[in-house]
Amino acid sequence: MEQENKFFSWLENNLMGPLSKMAQFKIVRAIMGAGVAAIPFTIVGSMFLVLNVLPTAIPALQGIFDTSLGKISPLYMLANTATMGILALYFNLVLGYEYTKIYAEEDDLDLNPLNGALLSMFAFFMSIPVLVFADSSIVRVTEITDASTIVNGWIMGGDGVARLGTAGIFTGIIMAIIAVQLYRLCVAKQWVIKMPEGVPDGVTRSFTALVPAFVIAFVVIIINGILVALGTDIFTMIEVPFGFVTNIANSWLGVVVIFFFIHLLWLVGIHGTNTIIPMLQPILLGNLALNAQEGQIVPFAGAFAKTFVEIGGSGATLGAVIIITFFAKSQQLKSLGKAAIIPSIFNINEPVIFGLPIIYNPYLAIPFIVAPMINVSLSYWAIKLGFISPIIAQAPWPTPVGISAFIGTGGDWRSVVLALLLLGLSTVIYYPFIRAYDQKLLQQEMEISEA
């Protein structure tokens, strides 16, 4: 027991502290907010995509689809184009808003979040067109070939401007950071036009953003000019470091490490999922679009965690809840099981984590980590090797096991089977540990009863 206490103490000192501090950085919180804000739109867009690909998953529906919904597919698929097709724009706007709001509230600066969002979008759009040196002049590229279509600098893709999609997410984030920091600098140095009292708020807001807009324009022009002179642009520059991070997050080992740290945080009382996953939302949503729009096979996409890994919530605890609900002998676990079974079906497991409890509980720490690790590995390779379809749609996180897999993979029945098998496997993993813990509690109850 003393060694276990030392282990939890080590986690608190060496893991909880640094990650907690990182999660409190202004930019990290702003990116978290942007990722969460984009989810409702990706869910809506995903539902229409599932509707469109369902006949592919269930061939018997193809004839009915062709004579009905197939005739208006270009109409309703606009909902997908206007979400997944311009995902970078959502991130850029919301990040600008959230980042500005945090500075306004915590640094007591007269910053308007709406101005921050619009200035971020302004900086982002200035960075999108492709520019090159030609005949001693800077010109916008126009190139129409079988491989690419670039019109006056704008790279066109299947859903419109390609750089507004997942290819532009990280550039959108960087330009939002630059814009908000320059906006903050202008306000802090009072480089703004102040309007007299009584002027409508809309007019005051527009004039307050005037000088920052000029500053942002000059800075972005200088950045673009330097990069064009070097034969590149900001999109190409950002692809190198962020591409490296994305490649790590998309590797099997990288995904395993991510979920390992998520569950270590939980063991010391920190909401590991809310701490780590929101920071990865740009990668998750970008991979979702790659699977859906480009036909790639990237396992770590969309709601991968709630679909295959965290079945019933962090730690894949639905299996544990099933055991304590139907097989526990101690009154404590029986009562907890009755209260927790319904929420756990919808991936809400705080009653289990804090009620068993799982945090600081040496009896349950091992299965709480091992079950998700096994789920991660099996589901990752099942997708990577083509045994099931990759996730192409964003299912809402409370969606029950099996249903989320069916929606997320666009109707692949094999994914439902895999999700249910993972549930069964996690139940088996939890069983000996829950049984030992139940026996301990039962013994304690008997001793109290005899006393």
How would DSSP label each residue in 367-412?
Answer: HHHHHHHHHHHHHHHHHHTTSSPPP-S---TTPPTTHHHHHHTTS-
Same domain, 267 and 327: yes
d(CA 93, CA 111): 15
Same domain, 266 and 388: yes
Residue where one domain finishes, among candidates 245, 271, 294: 245
Asked whether residue 435 is assigned to any structural domain, the reply reads yes
The residues that bridge with 138 in the sheet, in sequence order, are 133
| pLDDT tens sequence across 252-287 | 999 999 999 899 888 877 778 877 887 888 999 999
Asked whether residue 330 is assigned to any structural domain, the reply reads yes
Cβ–Cβ < 8 Å for 26, 99: yes
Q: How confident is the model at residue 374 (pLDDT cuts 50, 70, 90)?
A: very high
Residue where one domain finishes, among candidates 182, 215, 245: 245
- Residue 213: what pLDDT? 96
- Residue 20: what pLDDT? 64
Q: Scan for tokens 């980590």, then name that residue.
A: 369
> Cis peptide leading into 357, omega within 30 of 0?
yes
pLDDT beyond 60 at 247: yes
Q: How confident is the model at residue 243 (pLDDT cuts 50, 70, 90)?
A: confident
Q: How confident is the model at residue 147 (pLDDT cuts 50, 70, 90)?
A: confident
pLDDT beyond 70 at 340: yes
Same domain, 105 and 236: yes
Structural domain of 168: 86-245
The residues that bridge with 133 in the sheet, in sequence order, are 138
Total number of domains constituting the chain: 2
Same domain, 270 and 321: yes
Q: What is the mean pLDDT of residues 340-354?
A: 90
| pLDDT tens sequence across 425-450 | 999 999 999 998 999 899 988 988 88
Residue where one domain finishes, among candidates 219, 245, 271: 245
- Residue 153: what pLDDT? 93
Asked whether residue 30 is assigned to any structural domain, the reply reads no
Q: CA angle 335-336-342, nearest 5°?
A: 110
Same domain, 179 and 282: no
Q: What is the mean pLDDT of residues 73-78?
A: 93
Same domain, 101 and 184: yes
239 three-class SS: helix
Largest CA distance in the chain: 95
287 three-class SS: helix
d(CA 99, CA 312): 33
- Residue 61: what pLDDT? 85
Q: How confident is the model at residue 308 (pLDDT cuts 50, 70, 90)?
A: very high
Q: How confident is the model at residue 207 (pLDDT cuts 50, 70, 90)?
A: confident
pLDDT beyond 70 at 8: no
Greater confidence (286 vs 199) lies with: 286
- Specify the pTM: 0.84
pLDDT beyond 80 at 40: yes
Same domain, 210 and 325: no
| pLDDT tens sequence across 10-33 | 656 665 566 667 768 899 889 888
- Residue 9: what pLDDT? 66
